Structure 1
Amino acid sequence: MSHYPNWRLFLLAGALTIGRACFAQDIGVEPVVLAPSVEVAPVSFEDVEIQPIALTDEIQPVSWGEPCCNNYNVGCCNNCGPRDCGWFHDAWISQGYTANFDHPASNFNTPLTFNDRADEYQMNQLYLAMGKEVDAESCCWSLGGRVDLLYGSDYFFTMANGLELHTDGSRKWNGDGPRDGGNAALYGLAMPQLYGEVYAPIGNGLRVKFGHFYTIIGYESVMAPQNFFYSHAYTMQYGEPFTHTGVLGSYTFGQHFTVHAGITNGWDNFDNLNGQCSALIGAQYANDVSSLSYSFINGKEDINGLNNRFLQSIVYTRKLGQRWTYVFQSDLGIEDDGKLDESFNPDTAFWYGINQYLYLKYTDTVDLGVRLEWFRDEDNARVIAIPIEAFSKGGNYYELTLGANWRPCDFINVRPELRYDWSNVDLLGAQGPYDDFMKKQMWTASFDVIFKF
């Protein structure tokens, strides 16, 4: 046997090295080079027997299990994770009582919504949500979705045109009753969410919703367990949309910064009523101490598709030590031809405001909170919805709410609150917006109990 390496062996070794490097580039994995842990003597090729290489048409089986070899290997999605491969269901009942110190004859706490009935019991939400969560922790494509059903008095404020409502505003499956001037029932059924979701293993992971879903705008939520207070701020009640129908993508850069971008049918529309689409955009930076989010929606909302409406919302949250949390929110809305001036000519309508929240973790089972809000409906286009300067003037709405959350066990939350409202809105032939339009201020004391099951 020769004492020098065969030149064919060098060619073979070079070809194998180049082939392995090219294959690694094709699948997006950098070749790994490990430095030896100890010094070793070089291997003499004369002591290595050269094995012949046989070419064959047989294909070796590929393992599609864990671990995933690249970001697009869908085979590794076969293993189920927690919560039965992502399937879930949530349910709760929220029911309460609101005492109005003025005892209005109509039994409505106008202009409050959600807990809008005065001096009587309300079952606000019998809520059921079910679906499948996407697996955002794996390197695989993942499919999910969700459907939410809401039965109770809150249905009236979450209906969407084309779903629970016909295009003319009449109800599809909910009956008549004391709401909406005698045209809407006190209790009914709504479906505020019905969407599919896709997780794509692109970069840090792209999530895309398509269907009917809650808005990303603002701070407070329709879902009772996600709010500290039983009542809601004017900003949420009148200044923002509740739901959208369309497509919304979300992508996170690193660990703290997330962006959202989508195309929808506008504010609380299931169907596209005017042939126009609205852009829904948002961004959020969050860490363990604070978060800052900005979102806006822009599009033509009138039935003819001519007048543009823009709304932006900024929300900042901050932990203050171990027990305190502060939240700041500011909204600004603008709508072209959203009002009629004193000469009955179309003009731009504005609404804007500032909300502030302060929470204290008093004990392990009791939290205390305060909400202070200023909301300006400058042209009466949102709250009373009579945007005609010849008949009424817009103005300010203020509210101060003191509340608590008591959780005697994990599945029960009791939320008492005391609220004071005041407004200087000038309404033709009315003293103010409260107590059936006879007063400029209102006191309410209320509480609700949330049972989760």
Structure 2
Amino acid sequence: MKTIINTNFGKIFILALLTVTVTTAVAQEEEETKPKFSFSGTVDAYYRSNLTAPNGEEAIAPGSSFANLDGFALGMANVIAAYEGEKVGFVADLVFGPRGSDATFNSPQYLNSAGGGTGEILNQLYVYWNVSDAVTLTFGNFNTFLGYEVISPAANFNYSTSYLFSYGPFSHTGLKADFDLGSDWSAMVAVMNPTDLTELNGTGDYAVGAQLGYSGQFLNFLYSQGGFEVDYTGGFDLSEEFYLGINAAHFSMEDDGGSFTGVALYPQYAFSETFSLGLRGEYFMEGDQFGAIGDVFDADGDSNVLAITLTGSATIGDLTLKPEIRLDSASEDVFIDNDRAATGSLASVLFAAIYSF
């Protein structure tokens, strides 16, 4: 009798254990497949000052985008809401502040506060569908696939931006298809509104884009309204501490409408888990009749600039501090010195603080 009771007890125990195991596995599987809602973003501010040029009312800045205000200045607040389902999802990316306004300069009708809006600016707004493990369709407004740098300061090593980034497109609105080709290969094709026309088309023209990627290296193509751009973006881990990023691009308009060519190298060295030092060395050349950002260069002839930017990056929890010194040397006297005389060079410093959540 004792043996029978023990045997039955053992069967009951094993059955209970199996039930708990199966229930736990099912719960874990349901948790993994449950749609996920996330809320993230950044807040940044900075101080900038010229070393070889006046500040205050006569302050000037490099001819690249963002971080061009003098004294204590604001970057932007970035708030991103995302929903990730098993097959479908969305991203709603809002930006508030000068950096966000500059990034959406061709969307004045509804999105940009300068056009009479409320100040909420859509940096990105898109939905996506994972058709299969190898194919994803994205529809809406998304940041450009070209270039090494992006709008968000948290995703760049340097706080100020390059000429290549400033001349290239910021965002697109349209439909793109991403393909995982296996063995570290990927591809993308897209049809979009003309470059940086993000809230509506307004022209009747369309742009086409394509990308071929292999193991973190990307070759990008864009054709929009008679302009063609080819761009290479990539980088290599030369050691556990040393990384080298690379960006090179060429843009040209049909019928000699102008062009630009540039290359930038981004060597970065991690001294510890909380401090890194990075250098951006960029050579940028603008061709004849191409309108420059802020009319920095003479549009009647070829111009070039060599820009060297040294940036430190120190993290304190979710806060990143970035001291930076930048030297711009142009082929023309597009800057002024402290005596208000025209000169081809500008030295400036800044200190930025970026909080990520």
Same structural fold, with TM-score higher than 0.5 when normalized by the shorter chain? yes
Distance 1:438 1:216, change over 3 A: same
| Amino acid corresponding to residue 44 of structure 2 in structure 1 | S
Distance 1:110 1:229, change over 3 A: closer
Cross-structure match for 2:8: none
**Distance of 1:280 and 1:112 partners within structure 2:** 24
| Amino acid corresponding to residue 108 of structure 2 in structure 1 | E
Is the 2:110–2:116 contact (alpha carbons within 8 Å) kept by the matching residues of 1?
no
Aligned residues: 325
Cross-structure match for 1:93: 43
Higher mean alpha-carbon deviation, 242-251 vs 391-400, is at 391-400
Cross-structure match for 2:20: none
3-state secondary structure, aligned to 1:392: coil
Cross-structure match for 1:221: 150
Is the 2:134–2:181 contact (alpha carbons within 8 Å) kept by the matching residues of 1?
no
Cross-structure match for 1:375: 284
Distance 1:97 1:360, change over 3 A: same
Aligned residue among 314, 320, 340 for 1:406: 314
Q: Does 1:297 align with 2:222?
A: yes
Deviation, 1:266, is 2.0
**Distance of 2:67 and 2:83 partners within structure 1:** 31
**Distance of 1:388 and 1:97 partners within structure 2:** 26
Deviation, 1:442, is 0.4
**Distance of 1:242 and 1:444 partners within structure 2:** 25
Deviation, 1:445, is 0.7
Higher relative contact order (CA 8 A, sep 6+): 2
**Distance of 2:173 and 2:231 partners within structure 1:** 19
Cross-structure match for 1:361: 270
**How big is the alpha-carbon RMSD for the aligned residues of Structure 1 and Structure 2?**
2.6
Q: Does 1:258 align with 2:186?
A: yes
Please give the per-residue CA displacement for 1:294-345, whole angstroms capped at 9, x wherever unaligned: 0111121xxxxxxx110111023111111101112110001124xxxxxxxx
Is the 1:378–1:395 contact (alpha carbons within 8 Å) kept by the matching residues of 2?
yes
Deviation, 1:433, is 4.2
Cross-structure match for 1:323: 241
Q: Does 1:190 align with 2:121?
A: yes
Cross-structure match for 2:93: 148
Gaps of at least 5 residues in structure 2 are 1-24
| Structure holding more strand per residue | 2
Q: Does 1:164 align with 2:118?
A: no
**Distance of 1:369 and 1:392 partners within structure 2:** 35
Q: Does 1:115 align with 2:41?
A: no
Cross-structure match for 2:82: 131
Q: Mapping of 1:191-210 within 5 angstroms?
A: 191-201=122-132, 204-210=133-139
**Distance of 2:90 and 2:262 partners within structure 1:** 34
Please give the per-residue CA displacement for 1:164-223, whole angstroms capped at 9, x wherever unaligned: 3479x9932359xxxxxxxxxxxx54211011111112xx42111101110100110001
Cross-structure match for 1:439: 343
Deviation, 1:405, is 0.7
**Distance of 1:154 and 1:251 partners within structure 2:** 32
Gaps of at least 5 residues in structure 1 are 1-66, 68-77, 136-141, 176-187, 301-307, 338-346, 426-430
Is the 1:160–1:243 contact (alpha carbons within 8 Å) kept by the matching residues of 2?
no
Deviation, 1:434, is 5.2
Deviation, 1:437, is 8.7
CA radius of gyration, larger in: 1
3-state secondary structure, aligned to 1:216: coil
3-state secondary structure, aligned to 1:225: helix
Aligned residue among 330, 334, 343 for 2:252: 334
3-state secondary structure, aligned to 1:171: helix
- Identity of aligned pairs, percent? 20
